[in-house]
Amino acid sequence: MSFIVLIAAGLLVPIFYKNNIVIAKLIAVIAFIMAAYFIFAGQSLGSLFPYFVADDATRLMEFVLLVTLAAVSLALTGFERPLIAQMLFLAGASVAFLETNNFFIYIVLFEVIAIISYILVANIRNFYNAEGAIKAFIAGAVASGIILLGFALFSFSTDSFDYASMNIAGKYTLIAVAIMLAGIFYKLTVVPMHGWAADAYSQVNHAAAAILSGVIKSVVLFATFKAFYKFLVAYPLATVLIFSFFAILTMTLANFMALWQKRVSKILAYSSIAHSGYALIPFAAAASVYSYAGVLYYAVAYIFMQTSVFLILNDLRRELGVKYLEDIKGLYKKAPLHSFIFTIQLFSLAGIPLLAGFLSKAVAFYAGVDAGLWWVVLIALLNSALAVGYYVWIIKHIYFDEPKGNEVIQMSTGSLIGQLILLAGTLYFGIVAGDIFNATISF
């Protein structure tokens, strides 16, 4: 049901674009809420189509996704109105993507989401937007090609696309999985497939970047873990080595890159890349019973905080023209509420406790320790400590420096409600870990 509601709303919304953006937003929010309700009520796509199974964890992920998107649509302004319909479609696709238990459908929906993301970034207003969009598009196209290549190989060597009964043995299967993984790493912005993301995240419209880097990444992360779980467990040595290697490479490179950036959006882009690195640790530790919980927790936490920071940056850019670190000096005087929420979310990203960013890391990394990879976890933790450097550097500009101008901006109501929802998510999952574990207990 939720799928249908979302798609229907997505088709309905563009009608109101011209006349009344508020109605469009309202419809979208209602659609998200309804969809969330259906999911809460236990209805899944599985009741309509085969190949879809929703376990508790998936439902939780979907729920979080829908709440986040509702918050995002509340926070949008007229300028970003095309995003509303795109988000509804994205939500529909994501719900299916998360629930599927069929590799074929996984690949198809992966491509669907990729296409939606191209459309998302296509809201081009200036040269920078265009550059980012083109980069995202070309890199995405190449990745799609690679994934399809891998999938083609895979389809030759397997008897079934069902997650449970897939064929996982055989040289071709392995090569196929490897090639597909490479394509998916592109979407997850794993180094060295990250080049486009650093530019695209920082250059496209920040609201689009919020969805790209926050929502889509989390969804892909979670769905991919489910899809590849069987392979990860079957080849522990390869899993550990490859994922540890890429995890360390990604987070280290991204953190060092982020440290010396001057554009705020670029810092956040690299921080997003670094978080992909952290998120790979539960993949490496797939053998651990905590890996599923780790991935889920990471995806859930990440969706809230990353979306929130990009949305705030969007506001700031629109109202104050914030681009560089210079521009946010003394921001606490100009925009106290923005600064406050921004700071909390940044702390969450940095992994400061009582915020989702910490507990998610704690659980995800514990999966690594549980699998015996404590040295990888140590490197990851040191990396996250290094990352604190640039988060604090942003906060330093906001609170410790004096502002240049003296204009003061208010937060719009929609934006405030949206941000509060995201903040509530960050706080809730920062203190209460029970839901995540209850959801993954059956796995």
Partner 1 sequence: MVAVDIIFAPIVFSALVYFLTRGAQHLTKYIALGWFVVLFIIALNWYHQLPVDGGFLFLGNFLSVPQFGFELTLQIDALSVAMLLLTAALLILVVLTSWNEKKQAAYFSLLIMFSGPIFGVFMTTNVLWFFMFWELTLVPMLFLVGIWGAEERIYAAIKFFIYTHVFAMFMFVGFYLLYKQTGYWDLTLIKETALATPALIWWLMFLGFAAKLPVFPFHTWLPDAHVQAPSSISVLLAGVLLKMGAYGLIRFTVELMPITTLEFAKYMLIFGLITTFFAGMLAIYEKHIKKMVAYSSISHMGLVVVAISTMTYDGLSAALFEMIGHALVISPLFLIAGWLHHKTHTWYMDEMGGIMKKAPYAAAIFILAGMAALGLPGTMGFVGELTIIVSAVKAYGWWIAIIALAGMISAGYIIWAVRRAIHGPMSPIVEKADFSMSFAERLALAIYAVLIVYFGINPQPIFDLANQAFSFLGGM
Partner 2 sequence: MNNAVMTLLIAPYVGAVLAYILGKAKRELAFWVAEVVGFVLFLASAVLFLKYSDTPIDITYTWIHFGNLELPFGIYIDHLSIVMLLVATGLGFLDIHFAHDYMGEDPDQPRYYAKVLFFIGGMILLVITKDLIGAFVGWEFMGLASYLLISFWYFKKSAADAGMQAFLYTRFGDIFILAAIALLFFYAGTVDLVKLNEMANAGELDKTLALVAALFIFMGAIGKSGQFPLYPWLMNAMEGPTTVSALIHGATMVNSGIYIVARLFDFFSYTDALYIVANVAALSAFIGATSALVQKEIKKILAYSTMSHLSIAFVGLGVGSLAAGMLHLVNHAIFKALLFLSAGAVIYIAHHQKDAWKLGGLIKTAPFVALFMAMGSLSLAGVPPFSGYFSKEMVVAAAWEWGNGFTKTFVTIAALLSIAYITRLWILIFLGEPRHEEVGGSVHKPSNIWMRLPLGILAFLTLFISIWQMDIVHYIVGEEFIEPHVAGLGAFMLTCMLIIFLIVVGLYVKGLNLLYKIASHHFVQTIHQILYNGYYVEAMITWISKNIIVGAVAKAARWFDTYVIDYIVNKTLDFTYMVYKVFRAGHSGKIGTYMGQFVLGVAIIVIAILIIVKGL
Complete DSSP assignment for 171-238: HHHHHHHHHHHHHHHHHTT-TTTTHHHHHHHHHS-HHHHIIIIIIIHHHHHHHHHHHHHHHHHH-HHH
Binding residues for partner 2, rule CB under 8 A, total 40
Instruction: Tell whether the torsion through CA atoms of 252, 253, 258 and 262 is positive or negative.
Output: positive
We find the least distance from the C-beta atom of residue 389 to partner 1, in angstroms, to be: 6
Token pair 């990851």 is found at 380
CB of 352 to partner 1, least distance (A): 6
Stretch that binds partner 2, among 12-20, 106-114, 194-202, 299-307 (CB under 8 A): 194-202
Query: Alpha carbon of 251 to those of 187, 279, 407: distances in Å?
Result: 16, 10, 37
The item of partner 2, partner 1, none sharing an interface with residue 253, based on CB under 5 to 8 Å by kind, is partner 2
User: Using CB under 8 A as the criterion, which residues of the chain lie in contact with partner 1 when the complex forms?
Assistant: 290, 293, 340, 347, 352-354, 358, 362-363, 365-366, 369-370, 374, 377-378, 381-382, 384-386, 388-389, 392-393, 395-396, 399-400, 431-434, 437-438, 440-441
Measured between its terminal Cα atoms, the distance across the chain in Å is 24
385 binds partner 2 (CB under 8 A): no
* Least gap, CB of 390 to partner 1 (angstroms): 10
Site for partner 2 contains 372 (CB under 8 A): no
Question: Considering only residues 158-177, where is the footprint of partner 2 by CB under 8 A?
Answer: 169-171, 174-175, 177
Q: Is the dihedral of CA 25, 26, 29, 31 positive or negative?
A: negative
Question: Nearer Cβ to partner 1, position 60 or 112?
Answer: 60
- HEC string of 127-175 equals HHHHHHHHHHHHHHHHHHHHHHHHHHHHHHHCCCCECCCCCCCCHHHHH
105 backbone dihedrals φ, ψ, rounded to 5°: -65, -35
Which partner from the list partner 2, partner 1, none does 198 bind, CB cut-off 5 to 8 Å by kind? partner 2
When the beta carbons of 182 and 433 are compared against partner 1, the nearer one is 433
Question: Cβ 242 to partner 2, closest distance in Å?
Answer: 5
Considering beta carbons, is residue 139 or 421 the nearer one to partner 1? Answer: 421
Residue 370, binding choice from partner 1, partner 2, none, Cβ under 5 to 8 Å by partner class: partner 1
For partner 2, which residue of 126, 164, 237, 402 counts as binding (CB under 8 A)?
237
Handedness of CA 335, 338, 344, 345 (dihedral sign): negative
Q: How far is 323 from 325, CA to CA, in rounded Å?
A: 7
Which residues, 17 to 76, sit near partner 2 by CB under 8 A?
none
Looking at 46, 195, 330, 403, which residue binds partner 2 (CB under 8 A)? 195
**Which does residue 438 bind out of partner 1, partner 2, none, counting CB within 5 to 8 angstroms by kind?**
partner 1
Q: Which long-range contacts (CB under 8 A, 24 or more apart) does 39-46 make?
A: 39/2, 39/63, 39/66, 39/95, 43/1, 43/2, 44/99, 45/2, 45/3, 45/95, 45/96, 45/99, 46/99
What is the identity of the amino acid at 125?
Answer: R
Tell me the closest approach of the beta carbon of residue 397 to partner 1, in angstroms: 10
Query: Are 276 and 217 spatial neighbours (Cβ–Cβ below 8 Å)?
Result: yes
**Residue selected from 34, 53, 108, 134 as contacting partner 2 according to rule CB under 8 A:** 134
Query: Residues 248, 375: contact at Cβ < 8 Å?
Result: no
Query: Positive or negative CA dihedral for 304, 306, 307, 312?
Result: positive
**220 vs 281, beta carbon nearer partner 1:** 281
Contact between 386 and partner 2 (CB under 8 A)?
yes
Under rule CB under 8 A, residue 126 binds partner 2: no
Give the interface segment with partner 2, choosing from 1-9, 183-191, 207-215, 349-357 (CB under 8 A): 183-191
Q: Number of C-alpha atoms within 13 angstroms, CB side, residue 346?
A: 25
Smaller CB distance to partner 1: residue 90 or 395? 395
The length of the chain, given as a count of residues: 443
Whether omega before 192 lies within 30 degrees of 0, making that bond cis, reads: yes
Q: Hey, what are 346's tokens?
A: 């940044």
Tell me which of partner 1, partner 2, none is bound by residue 377, counting a contact when its beta carbon lies within the kind-specific cut-off of 5 to 8 angstroms. Answer: partner 1
Q: What is the CA radius of gyration of the chain?
A: 20
* Residue 235 interacting with partner 2 (CB under 8 A): yes
Count CB atoms within 10 A of the CB of residue 263. Answer: 15
Interaction between residue 245 and partner 2 (CB under 8 A): yes
Tokens linked to 356:
């989702």
- Decide: is 387 part of the binding site for partner 2 (CB under 8 A): no
Choice between 106 and 137, CB closer to partner 2: 137
Residues of this chain that bind partner 2 (CB under 8 A): 134-135, 138-139, 142-143, 146, 169-171, 174-175, 177-179, 181-182, 185-186, 190-193, 195-196, 198-199, 235, 237-238, 241-242, 245, 253, 256-257, 259-260, 386, 389
